């Protein structure tokens, strides 16, 4: 009885919530530079995305080269003197696909790495050591040795205990590596990352580097974390870094050569899912609110905001302006890639709404559990979004749900969906859980090129003793 009453109330409330929370139409294909063909198919540069699935299989990652080129050019926009406003080192961990990395390197982007593997990869891709920045809390001894031996551009120590390790390697190899210190601003991540500016710990670490005798104190590094969207946020943490740089100048007599502002600029079409929105979606199948792209600084605005604040600060003090580093991950590649997935089957009986079972789930799109990502029905763009579906992935786990409330046209088995903004943290968080990992292709000026072939069954046991 109680259960039935609850169901009744839920059903009544659900209708209200769903009406209030109807899906918006803010994020159309045009936001990604895509079009819709006369047949109602999603297309980019005239290439029908459904044809890509036919040719390359499903699931399939598609890198939109022109979008990536555009993001790079925004990051590297020049000022009125024809100079770029900062230097950009791409966060390898965000999307470590060699074809993507080579593409951005060829356009003038350097490498930001956090492991011995990523350092190896950057060198393998032809990055000169002086275009590589090494960060992160987990630098193995082998990685430190390699980085110091090769004279990489900058090694940012994460915490004080790393200083002695790097100094010891430097002494042994007779090197004087350029060192930065990761500093946590008041609004930024802390935890395992860096030292607090406000407690004085960050300054103490900078001092320790300076006094080591073998390390070249070169930079302050910060990475505010989360998703930065506004000028106000940026000005806050940039101001704290500038104040710390002043203290270094005043107390240690060192004019830092580099200020490294890390990443964290949001992808305009992606936003975190709040607890309330998650509850409304799971309980009532309410649509998630779509983010408003204009609420996020564009890349160009963000770069200008940081650079102008730094330049103004040093101009006022009549001191030479340091080099300004950016280490974008999601901001550079997030919205330049999409994941095509297929409906394997529908399960549309009670309870409503029904389920669509997809061939990609959290095994390939882990981020969709905690972030809003727009979803398009690749071949049904002309049909009304008349149905609500819950979208499950294939891995046979109750956590493998990509949406509790997707508003879509009536689907059929075999239909394709495009999950947008798959260009950051999809590939690195991918697993081979019961299903092989998909191919990655690049769509560039109507040409399609394979960047990474799909995993095959044999590959999944290639390192195993099969005897």
Least Cβ distance, residue 300 to a second copy (angstroms): 27
Nearer to a second copy, 139 or 210 (CB): 139
Tokens of 310: 């730094």
175 binding a second copy? (CB under 8 A): no
Could you give the 3-state DSSP secondary structure of residue 131?
Answer: helix
Least Cβ distance, residue 292 to a second copy (angstroms): 26
Nearer to a second copy, 24 or 272 (CB): 272
Binding mask 48-87 toward a second copy (x if CB under 8 A, else -) reads: ----------------------------------------
431 binding a second copy? (CB under 8 A): yes
Least Cβ distance, residue 162 to a second copy (angstroms): 6
Nearer to a second copy, 189 or 314 (CB): 189
Tell the burial category of 353 from Cβ atoms under 10 Å away from its Cβ (0-12, 13-18, 19+).
middle
- Give the one residue of 39, 192, 235, 274 binding a second copy; rule: CB under 8 A: 192
CB 267 within 8 A of CB 331: yes
348 binding a second copy? (CB under 8 A): yes
Tell me how far apart the alpha carbons of residues 397 and 267 are, in angstroms, rounded to a whole number.
29
- Give the one residue of 19, 213, 398, 446 binding a second copy; rule: CB under 8 A: 398
CB 214 within 8 A of CB 176: yes
Nearer to a second copy, 376 or 389 (CB): 389
450 binding a second copy? (CB under 8 A): yes
4 binding a second copy? (CB under 8 A): no
State the first-to-last Cα distance of the chain, in angstroms, to the nearest integer: 59
| Virtual torsion, Cα 138, 142, 148, 149, nearest 10 deg | -160
User: Does residue 351 have a cis bond before it (omega within 30 degrees)?
Assistant: yes
189 binding a second copy? (CB under 8 A): yes
Tell the burial category of 278 from Cβ atoms under 10 Å away from its Cβ (0-12, 13-18, 19+).
middle
- Give the one residue of 46, 250, 294, 457 binding a second copy; rule: CB under 8 A: 457
413 binding a second copy? (CB under 8 A): yes
Burial 220-245 (b: 16+ CB within 10 A, else e): bbbbbbebbbeeebbebbbebbbebb
182 binding a second copy? (CB under 8 A): no
Half-sphere exposure of 92 (CA within 13 A, CB side): 25
Tell me how far apart the alpha carbons of residues 73 and 299 are, in angstroms, rounded to a whole number.
9
97 binding a second copy? (CB under 8 A): yes
107 binding a second copy? (CB under 8 A): no
For 396: left if phi > 0, alpha if psi spans -120 to 50, otherwise beta; the answer is left
Tokens of 78: 């020049």
395 binding a second copy? (CB under 8 A): yes
Residues 6+ apart with CB under 8 A from 403: 281, 368, 375, 389, 390, 391
For the beta carbon of residue 455, count every other beta carbon within 10 angstroms: 16
CB 427 within 8 A of CB 97: yes
- Give the one residue of 57, 96, 289, 409 binding a second copy; rule: CB under 8 A: 96
Nearer to a second copy, 20 or 396 (CB): 396
**Binding segment toward a second copy, per CB under 8 A, in 167-175, 208-216, 249-257, 394-402:** 394-402
Binding residue count for a second copy, defined by CB under 8 A: 81
User: Does residue 257 have a cis bond before it (omega within 30 degrees)?
Assistant: no
320 binding a second copy? (CB under 8 A): no
211-250: which residues touch a second copy (CB under 8 A)? 225
Least Cβ distance, residue 374 to a second copy (angstroms): 22
Least Cβ distance, residue 236 to a second copy (angstroms): 16
Least Cβ distance, residue 222 to a second copy (angstroms): 14
């Amino acid at each position: 009885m109680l259960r039935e009453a609850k169901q009744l109330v839920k059903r009544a409330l659900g209708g209200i919530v769903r009406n209030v929370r109807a899906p918006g139409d803010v994020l159309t294909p045009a936001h990604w530079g895509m079009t819709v063909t006369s047949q109602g198919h999603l297309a980019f540069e005239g290439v029908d995305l459904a044809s890509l699935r036919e040719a390359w299989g499903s699931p399939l990652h598609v890198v939109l080269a022109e979008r990536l080129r555009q993001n790079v050019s925004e990051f590297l926009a020049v000022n009125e003197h024809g100079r770029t406003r900062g230097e950009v080192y791409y966060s390898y961990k965000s999307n470590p696909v060699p074809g993507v990395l080579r593409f951005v390197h060829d356009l003038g982007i350097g490498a930001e790495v956090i492991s011995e593997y990523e350092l190896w990869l950057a060198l393998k891709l032809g990055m000169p050591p002086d275009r590589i920045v090494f960060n992160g809390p987990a630098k193995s001894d082998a990685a430190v040795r390699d980085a110091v031996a090769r004279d990489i551009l900058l090694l940012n120590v994460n915490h004080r205990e790393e200083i002695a390790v790097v100094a010891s390697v430097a002494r042994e190899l007779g090197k004087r590596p350029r060192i930065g210190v990761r500093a946590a601003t008041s609004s930024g991540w802390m935890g395992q990352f860096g030292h607090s500016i406000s407690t004085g710990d960050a300054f103490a670490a900078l001092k320790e580097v300076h006094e080591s005798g073998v390390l070249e104190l070169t930079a302050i590094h910060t990475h505010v974390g989360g998703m930065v969207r506004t000028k106000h946020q940026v000005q806050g943490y940039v101001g704290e870094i500038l104040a710390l740089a002043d203290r270094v100048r005043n107390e240690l007599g060192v004019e830092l050569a580099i200020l490294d502002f890390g990443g964290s600029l949001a992808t305009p079409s992606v936003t975190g899912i709040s607890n309330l929105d998650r509850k409304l979606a799971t309980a009532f199948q309410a649509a998630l609110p779509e983010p408003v792209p204009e609420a996020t600084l564009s890349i160009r605005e963000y770069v200008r905001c940081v650079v102008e604040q730094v330049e103004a600060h040093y101009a006022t003090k009549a001191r030479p302006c340091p080099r300004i580093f950016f280490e974008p991950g999601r901001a550079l590649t997030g919205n330049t890639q999409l994941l095509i997935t297929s409906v394997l089957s529908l399960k549309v009986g009670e309870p409503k709404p029904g389920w669509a079972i997809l061939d990609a789930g959290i095994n390939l799109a882990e981020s969709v559990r905690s972030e809003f990502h727009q979803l398009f029905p690749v071949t049904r763009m002309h049909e009304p979004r008349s149905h609500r579906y819950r979208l499950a992935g294939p891995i046979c786990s109750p956590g493998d749900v990509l949406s509790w409330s997707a508003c879509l046209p009536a689907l059929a088995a075999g239909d394709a969906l495009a999950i947008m903004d798959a260009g950051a943290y999809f590939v690195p968080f991918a697993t081979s859980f019961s299903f092989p990992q998909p191919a990655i292709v690049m769509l560039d000026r109507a040409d399609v090129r394979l960047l990474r072939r799909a995993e095959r069954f044999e590959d999944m046991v290639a390192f195993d003793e099969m005897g």
